[in-house]
């Protein structure tokens, strides 16, 4: 699986891994990422596996932490990073050795995951975030992680993001694929929430999530989990768990703002109009209605 440098109009590039035309983030910790990914469909699942599926920068870290606490019945900070359980950047050996219940996560499409996962109908937790805030967060993510080798401008980034010249393709394709999968598989156990719903009423959403996971947790416990997973606390307590050497300036910045509507501070009128035009065209047959403000 070759490295690919995606060119931008300002002369900058974005370095990704190319898996038969599907772009993924580079896993510098894996000796052979291509071999691991190609073997993934044959990996064995477990009945109690839980998979968190998201497009990048949609609240994955927060949701992974919450699910881990609910599954283990322990309202305490998880001592590892969600990246340690991210399917596309871990070797099979690690995957096989994780203790049950495994709370896994991925930004890949469902078809790339272990076939046994679908066969067993393992639970999926899916969170969606509005694509404008995702664009801002992804731009900062790409700008700050060294392995991307990206130094482009926001103005040139927006059209490339809309086109899908980033790892994991477009937000639109990802969202439409999940919408279709849920429509085609109504009996598959999938929990869906949005970043905006979590920010609006976390207790309501976590109660729904606990019910979906079939775990009986009291309200005081759920409130403690929510407090631990509040963005400001996670930013303070979790950034140090990232590999700081992989970030520009030697300071991890996985957690930036975690707000709804920060896109207003970035988009020009013209960029916003272009974004709305593309979104309207891409999502014209979709029932998904992103929330851009609270």
CA-wise closest residue to 195 among 126, 93, 99, 284? 126
Are the CB atoms for 108 and 88 separated by under 8 Å? yes
Long-range Cβ pairs for the range 178-183 (8 Å, 24+): 178/53, 178/110, 178/126, 178/128, 179/286, 179/287, 179/288, 181/110
Interhelix angle 219-228/231-238, nearest 10 degrees: 60
Closest-CA residue to 117 (of 90, 94, 87, 72) = 87
In which residue are the tokens 């046994």 written?
A: 116
Using alpha carbons, list the distances in angstroms from residue 57 to 15, 49, 131.
Answer: 18, 23, 10
In angstroms, the CA 247 to CA 129 distance is 24
Q: Contact at 8 Å (CB) between 55 and 107?
A: yes
State the catalytic residue, choosing from 107, 141, 230, 240. Answer: 107
Is 65:50 a contact under the CB 8 Å cutoff? Answer: no
Instruction: Say how far apart CA 52 and CA 123 lie, in whole Å.
Output: 9
Backbone CA torsion sign across 184, 187, 190, 192: positive
In this structure, what DSSP letter does residue 15 have? E
Token digits for 204?
């309501």
Concerning whether 141 is annotated as a catalytic residue, the answer is: no
Catalytic residues: 107
């Amino acid at each position: 699986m070759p490295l690919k440098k995606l060119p931008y109009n300002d002369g900058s590039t974005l370095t990704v891994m190319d898996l038969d035309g599907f772009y993924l983030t580079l896993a510098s910790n894996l000796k052979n990422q291509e071999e691991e990914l190609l073997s993934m469909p044959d990996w064995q699942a477990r009945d109690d596996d839980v998979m968190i599926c998201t497009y990048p920068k949609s609240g994955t870290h927060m949701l992974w932490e919450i699910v881990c606490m609910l599954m283990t019945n322990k309202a305490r900070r998880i001592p590892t990073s969600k990246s340690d359980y991210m399917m596309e950047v871990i070797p099979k050996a690690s995957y096989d050795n994780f203790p049950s219940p495994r709370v896994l996560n991925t930004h890949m499409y469902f078809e790339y995951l272990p076939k046994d996962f679908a066969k067993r109908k393992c639970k999926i937790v899916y969170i969606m975030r509005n694509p404008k805030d995702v664009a801002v967060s992804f731009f900062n993510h790409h700008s700050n992680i060294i392995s991307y080798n990206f130094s482009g401008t926001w103005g040139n980034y927006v059209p490339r993001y809309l086109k899908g010249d980033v790892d994991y393709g477009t937000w639109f394709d990802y969202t439409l694929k999940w919408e279709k999968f849920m429509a085609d598989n109504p009996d598959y156990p999938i929990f869906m929430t949005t970043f905006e719903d979590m920010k609006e009423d976390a207790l309501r959403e976590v109660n729904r999530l606990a019910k979906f996971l079939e775990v009986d947790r009291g309200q005081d416990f759920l409130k403690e989990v929510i407090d631990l997973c509040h963005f400001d606390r996670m930013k303070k307590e979790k950034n140090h768990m990232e590999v700081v050497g992989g970030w520009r300036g030697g300071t991890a910045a996985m957690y930036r703002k975690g707000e709804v509507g920060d896109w207003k501070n970035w988009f020009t009128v013209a960029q916003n109009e272009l974004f709305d035009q593309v979104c309207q065209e891409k999502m014209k047959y979709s029932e998904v209605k992103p929330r851009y403000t609270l």
